[in-house]
Structure formats: C-alpha cells, structure tokens
C-alpha cells in the first residue's frame, strides 16, 4: 500500500517564508493533462482553481495544497474514476517529483528557520507560569481564559493556539487577578484566623439535611432532636421553620449519604479567606452504615475529600467505621474560596428522592464532626510574591488629601456576606497603604531589570527595559501612585508577546531557550530555581553535580 505524503510530513509546520520554487515541468504537465479540465479558472469544480495554483510558486501558502493534491493522486481519488486515467508510469513520476520537491522545500525551511514554531502558552501553562513567577501555588486563572484550540488532539501545538481580542482582554483580567493576589495592602502581617466550623451551621448542609440526603448524629447514633423521625411519614419542616424553632444552628455531627455532584455540594461557605495563602485545616470524620434509622458499623473504611470551591480536590483521607478520626492538612486557599466536604467513595444516590426517604433506606454514609481552620500561615511579611514585585520598598499610609489618585483596593473583610447578615464593611474608614519610592524612576528600572528576565524567560536588553520604565514614567505623570504605575507595567509585561509566546530560534539552542524547552515539556511552566541557576552557569544540558539532580532530572 502506497504511503500518504500527509503522513510522512505530519507535524511539519510551515510558519515562515520558504524559498520560492518553480513548479517542475513533469508536475505541471500532469496537472494540465489530467486535472485542469475540471479545475481551471473557468470551471473551478469544488472551488479549486489549478490555473492559479500552477501560476504560484511552491511556498508556504501553497505547500499544504500540494500535499493534499499528492495524497488525492496517490489514493486514486484524482482523476475521478469516470475520467481518463494517467498511466502507472505517469502517476509514479508525478508522485515522485512532487514528493521530492516538497521534502526539499521543507528541509530548506528547516535549515533556515529550525523546526520549532512560534506558539503561545496554553491556559494551563499560563496559569502555572504565573503561579511559579509569583510563588502563588494555588492561583486560579485558567478558567478565566477561553478554551484552547487543539491540533491532532493536542493543546500545545501552534496550529491550534490562535489569539483573539477576547483572549487579550481575558489575559488582562487574569494578570490583574494575579497582581491582586501578589501585592500586599498592609504593612503588618494579617491576623491569624482560628475557628471551628460545624456542618450544621452551614447553609448548604442544612438544605441537605432538610432534603433527606443527610442525618443529624450524636454519640455515634441518630439524633432525633431536630427531626423526630428521619424525614419519614409526613412532610418535613422547612429550614426557616426549623431555624425559628432554634433547632439550627446544629452543633452535632452530620452524616451524608451522597457523593458530590452538580446538584449536591456540602459547602462550608461561612468561611472564605480575605487573604490568599496557606491554611491549616483539621477535620474529624468517620463512616457508618445507615439502616432505617439505625447507625451500624460500616463494612469498609470509606474515603472523604476536602475540595476548594474554585479548584477541586485539596486532599483525600480515610473515614474508619464508627471511629471519629482527625486529619490535618496544609492547603492553599485563594481569596473568596471556601471549603467543600465530599463523600468521595460513595455513589451519587439521592436518598431524599426515594420512597420513605432515610427512614426506609439502607445505605453507607460518612459523618463529619467538625472542621477547624487556622491561617493564613506566613513565614515572612510581605510575602515572597510581593517582594518579587517591589523588593524591600516600604508600604506607607496614603494621604487622602493628596492630588495623587489612590490605589484601587478590594474591601477587606470576611468574604461571605450572603450567609452572614450582620456582616458590615468598614472600608471607607480604613487607612490605605501603598508601596512608595523616594526615587521612582530609578527604583522602577531596578525592579523591572529583575522582573522582566524572569517573566520572559530570556535575557532582556536595555532598550526593552527602557520601554517599560517609560510606561511607568507616563503613569506617574498621570498622577497615580508608584505602586499603581508599576502595576500597570507588570500587567503590560504579563500580556506581552515575550510572556505569552514560546519562541526558539534556529540552530543549537542557547541555555535559556533550552531551559524553557525542558521546563515547558516536563512541568508546563517556567524553569525552576535550580534550572535557572544552571542556565546562568552554562550547565543546562548536563548535571554539574550528579548527587544533586534538578527537577528536570527527577521528571
């Protein structure tokens, strides 16, 4: 079976100009004798004008069309069966000549420009790069960006990764969100939040209880103090009526019968951080078998998980049978996220929709006693993310009487006002703190010289730095704070082609390009500290110390 040229040349991208080549005579004669009757300038059957095709040189615009024409002839699809057919020798000569011309042309392009193509970061790479650039391990911006296109099933191929004005707008929003998370807005470390959250205090879990997909538990048994019977025999009371009767908030344990799905979320939404960072979370859980009102030993250890509302699973843990067990984990939470408890090993059974509900059901369940939260946990303040942007420049109180425009601030406060009706903001009376500089242009240049090479993943010249310093200078002239001016420059850098695109020049790769190729191949992000250090020492391609392998070697 003859091979198809599209298969032979798969993956050969024509991204830059090819040296123009004339169409060989044998090829031209074959097309004119066997194809032009149906595909000339007048007929153009199927929208194909081979007269114009033959008049154009073999270049990047016609390359893919010649590959297609080769495959049609190779598979005996052209000329059509009802038309006069070329001899076996004519067909073979045409295919040989076209194959040779295309391969020669492609090798010429490779020699001039290399095999790699200029492509943008996909959504995952963009998010990972921001996370590593600012040391914000849980930053969530991926879903803010439009879905990536795919080529041959992959989302890391230039042909599938186009760029639109919508995408650029979303990049601006994503960069702004990253800078919000990175920039400190107060000089002192935020106070440590510590609280114990009970499942019966959470709005969605109260809805679950009144809907019949969970039960109140006390001392490892059913607690009838809220519902005399587990939702059996007569319509249950509504949540408002139960709250009026002071049966909620409920401080006992809650047993759940159902796996998390689109209609079922055991949200702990009464806590959501005002400061992104690491939090210590402790939870007490156990499993049981529910048998028509009786709490019996579970035939197996069940598994539960804690999820972040915006990012999915944070961790899994065992729930032994009738044995309350505490688990602790350190997790990253973004501003405004809340925790979601999930009965990971249970099936999505809707006991509340079955006849007899829980009173007539026999089903496994997982109980949660309480959930403790402590944080944010900072080793230093300001955070490493802030220091990567502003170094050791001080935060000072903004003078509201100044003619300088104040920096925009998201109001501080517990982030669940819908579930906390007495929650009030005192934002208008809070002082505003902002990064200041006694020598703004000099500090801007210093900060940008440090930031831009890390963000762009390659050395940055004086002219490029000067462009961004000029942007800062223009914003300062517009009477914004130094912090806001720098923020504008950083946002511009994070939406620039140098940040958004991966480009590898032809020939042997320099150390910085090789480091980027390795890191985006292995972990979809910029080079880590060890790989960057080796790049600067010219040791990217080899390990200088086999006893200390880098992340690239480990991967």
> Over 60: is that where the pLDDT of 413 sits?
no
> Over 60: is that where the pLDDT of 228 sits?
no
For residue 81, name the pLDDT band (cuts at 50, 70, 90).
confident
Integer angstrom CA distances of residue 154 from 11, 118, 147, 259: 12, 16, 13, 32
Considering 85-94, 276-285, 333-342, 405-414, the range whose residues carry the highest mean pLDDT is 276-285
C-alpha–C-alpha distance, residues 297 and 440, integer Å: 68
Other C-beta atoms closer than 10 Å to the C-beta of 116 total 18
HEC secondary structure over 18-35: CCCECCCHHHHHHHHHHC
Q: pTM value?
A: 0.73
- Summarised one tens digit per residue, pLDDT across range 239-281 is 677 666 666 778 889 999 988 887 788 999 888 888 889 999 9
Peptide bond into 376 cis (omega under 30): yes
Q: What pLDDT score was predicted for residue 246? A: 66
* Residue 426 buriedness (CB in 10 A; 0-12 / 13-18 / 19+): exposed
- Summarised one tens digit per residue, pLDDT across range 365-381 is 999 999 999 999 999 99
Q: What pLDDT score was predicted for residue 9? A: 42
Q: What pLDDT score was predicted for residue 136? A: 94
| Residue 245 three-state SS | coil
> Over 70: is that where the pLDDT of 312 sits?
yes
Q: What pLDDT score was predicted for residue 57? A: 62
Residue 282, token pair as written in the block: 């402790």
Residue 76, token pair as written in the block: 């005996």
Buried-state track 516-547, b at ≥16 Cβ within 10 A, e below 16: bbbbbebbbbbbbebbbebbeeeebeeeeeee
Considering 91-100, 349-358, 406-415, 441-450, the range whose residues carry the highest mean pLDDT is 441-450
- Summarised one tens digit per residue, pLDDT across range 446-490 is 999 999 999 999 899 999 999 999 999 999 999 999 999 999 999
> Over 90: is that where the pLDDT of 125 sits?
yes
Least confident span in 134-148, 163-177, 352-366: 352-366
Averaged pLDDT for residues 222-228: 77
> Over 70: is that where the pLDDT of 427 sits?
no
Q: What pLDDT score was predicted for residue 46? A: 66
Q: What pLDDT score was predicted for residue 47? A: 66
C-alpha–C-alpha distance, residues 251 and 201, integer Å: 7
Integer angstrom CA distances of residue 94 from 8, 66, 461: 17, 12, 51
Domains of the chain: 5-113 (no CATH), 119-189+380-503 (no CATH), 193-375 (2.60.120.260), 504-554 (no CATH)
Q: Give the CA diameter of the chain.
A: 94
Least confident span in 46-55, 120-129, 434-443, 496-505: 46-55
More confident residue, 21 or 37: 37
CA nearest 29: which of 125, 78, 84, 93?
A: 93
β-bridge mates for residue 286, sequence order: 367
Q: Is the dihedral of CA 144, 149, 154, 160 positive or negative?
A: negative
């Amino acid at each position: 079976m003859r091979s198809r040229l599209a298969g032979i040349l798969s993956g050969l991208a024509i991204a830059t100009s090819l040296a123009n080549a004339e169409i060989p005579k044998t090829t031209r004669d074959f097309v004119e004798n066997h194809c032009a009757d149906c595909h000339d300038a007048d007929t153009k059957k199927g929208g194909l004008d081979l007269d114009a095709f033959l008049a154009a040189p073999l270049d990047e615009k016609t390359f893919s069309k010649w590959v297609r024409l080769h495959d049609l002839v190779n598979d005996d699809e052209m000329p059509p069966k009802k038309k006069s057919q070329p001899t076996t020798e004519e067909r073979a000569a045409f295919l040989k000549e076209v194959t040779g011309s295309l391969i020669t042309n492609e090798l010429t392009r490779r020699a001039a420009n290399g095999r790699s193509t200029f492509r943008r970061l996909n959504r995952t790479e963009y998010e990972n790069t921001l996370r590593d650039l600012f040391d914000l391990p849980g930053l969530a911006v991926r879903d803010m960006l439009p879905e990536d296109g795919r080529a041959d099933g992959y989302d890391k191929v230039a042909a599938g990764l186009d760029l639109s004005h919508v995408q650029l707008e979303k990049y601006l929003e994503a960069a702004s969100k990253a800078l919000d998370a990175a920039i400190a807005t107060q000089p002192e470390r935020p106070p440590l939040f510590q609280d114990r959250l009970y499942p019966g205090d959470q709005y969605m879990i109260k809805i679950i209880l009144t809907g019949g997909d969970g039960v109140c538990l006390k001392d490892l048994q059913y607690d009838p103090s809220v519902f005399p019977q587990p939702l059996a025999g007569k319509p249950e009371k509504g949540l408002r009526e139960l709250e009026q009767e002071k049966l909620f908030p409920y401080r006992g344990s809650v047993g759940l019968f159902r796996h998390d799905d689109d209609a079922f979320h055991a949200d702990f939404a009464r806590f959501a951080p005002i400061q992104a960072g690491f939090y210590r979370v402790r939870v007490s859980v156990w499993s049981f078998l529910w048998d028509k009102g009786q709490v019996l030993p579970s035939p197996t250890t069940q598994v539960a998980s804690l999820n972040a509302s915006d990012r999915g699973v944070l961790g899994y843990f065992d729930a032994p049978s009738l044995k309350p067990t505490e688990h602790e984990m350190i997790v990253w939470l973004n501003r405004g996220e809340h925790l979601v408890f999930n009965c990971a090993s249970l099936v999505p059974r809707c006991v509340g929709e079955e006849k007899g509900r829980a009173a007539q059901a026999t089903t496994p369940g997982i109980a949660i006693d309480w959930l403790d939260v402590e944080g944010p946990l900072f080793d230093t303040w300001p955070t490493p993310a802030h220091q990567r942007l502003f170094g050791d420049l001080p935060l000072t109180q903004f003078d509201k009487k100044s003619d300088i425009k104040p920096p925009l601030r998201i109001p501080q406060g517990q982030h669940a006002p819908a579930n906390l009706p007495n929650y009030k903001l005192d934002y208008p009376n809070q002082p505003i703190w902002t990064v200041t500089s006694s020598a703004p242009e000099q500090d801007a240049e210093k900060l940008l010289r440090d930031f831009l090479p890390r963000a762009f993943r390659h050395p940055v010249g004086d002219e490029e730095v000067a462009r961004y310093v000029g942007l800062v200078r223009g914003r300062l002239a517009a009477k914004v704070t130094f912090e806001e001016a720098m923020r504008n420059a950083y946002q511009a850098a994070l939406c620039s082609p140098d940040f958004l695109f991966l480009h590898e020049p032809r020939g042997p790769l320099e150390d910085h390009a090789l480091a980027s190729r390795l890191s985006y191949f292995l972990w979809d992000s910029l080079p880590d500290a060890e790989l960057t250090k080796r790049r600067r020492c010219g040791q990217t391609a080899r390990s200088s110390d086999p006893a200390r392998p880098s992340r690239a070697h480990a991967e």
